[in-house]
Amino acid sequence: MKKLLAFTILAAAAASISANAMDWRYGILASYDNTGTVWLDNGKPNNMSSTSGFSVGAMVGYDFIDYFGIQSGLMFSMTDINSAEEYEGEHFGLFDLDELLLHMDIRMYYLSIPLFLQGKLPVGDVDLILEAGPQFYCGVASRITTTLDAFYQDYLDIYELEGNQSAYDYLQRFNCMIHFGIGAEYMGARFMVGYNLGVYNIARNEENDPERSDLRTRGFSITAGYVF
């Protein structure tokens, strides 16, 4: 009798573990990211252009019930921040220039951890998905490229300035964005579109500096992947 009871308990525990294991899901994801930047310098907006980037990585999800779950993972991301400033009648080197354009491209590489809540609605063989939550970024590498376009009497000369400066001398290494996404999954293949809203000022301001900058990222993403 004791052996039968012990066997029953072990069988029930194994069945419970097996059932719970089925609630965990794993997958791989890749996305195209279009990122824009809102830069306010002492309340004055600056010219920033949207840029293309990418994210790749692995995800893990847990379904509490058929219609609700949570998703996290580890992603590697690349994003750019581009700015352009125009000066007229500037003195540059030995020349008095008609116009000077300063282009700065900041490329940053991140490791990021998403933490999304997901709602699912089965429609036939397709699961419609809504997701939302924060995504936390930590910068691991960066590169700055600065280019000068000098105009003088219809003559254009381009100078590329070399340097070993890190973007994290000017920007915070950490970032946080709130993600909202919608998509569908069919037989493990998943396709999502989303909007990412930066909620953290990544500009590095010196303490007691009267000139304050506010720099936040935002944009949309298109993601494809496979979930096991």
pLDDT at res. 172: 93
pLDDT at 102 over 70: yes
Look at residue 10 and tell me if it is in a domain: no
Look at residue 1 and tell me if it is in a domain: no
| Integer angstrom CA distances of residue 115 from 10, 50, 79, 105 | 34, 25, 20, 29
State the average pLDDT for the chain.
82
The letter for the amino acid at 123 is V
pLDDT at 111 over 80: yes
Q: What is the DSSP letter of 169?
A: G
Look at residue 201 and tell me if it is in a domain: yes
* The pair of three-digit structure tokens given for residue 178, joined into one six-digit string: 């709130």
Mean pLDDT of 124-130: 97
pLDDT at 64 over 80: yes
pLDDT at res. 165: 72
pLDDT at 11 over 60: no
pLDDT at 73 over 80: yes
* The pair of three-digit structure tokens given for residue 86, joined into one six-digit string: 């125009």
Q: Which residues pair with 193 in a beta bridge?
A: 182, 222
pLDDT tens profile 180-214: 999 999 999 999 999 999 999 998 876 666 567 88
pTM: 0.79
Look at residue 18 and tell me if it is in a domain: no
pLDDT at 62 over 90: yes
Cα–Cα dist 104/139, whole Å: 19
Q: How many domains does the chain have?
A: 1
pLDDT at 2 over 80: no
pLDDT tens profile 136-155: 999 999 988 888 776 665 55
Mean pLDDT of 59-76: 95
Cα–Cα dist 69/121, whole Å: 12
Quickly state the pLDDT bin for 93 (edges 50, 70, 90): low
pLDDT at res. 8: 41
pLDDT at res. 134: 98
Give the CATH number of the domain where residue 72 resides: 2.40.160
Look at residue 206 and tell me if it is in a domain: yes
Look at residue 175 and tell me if it is in a domain: yes
Decide if 189 contacts 176 (C-beta within 8 A): no
Look at residue 146 and tell me if it is in a domain: yes
Look at residue 19 and tell me if it is in a domain: no
Domain that holds residue 146: 24-227
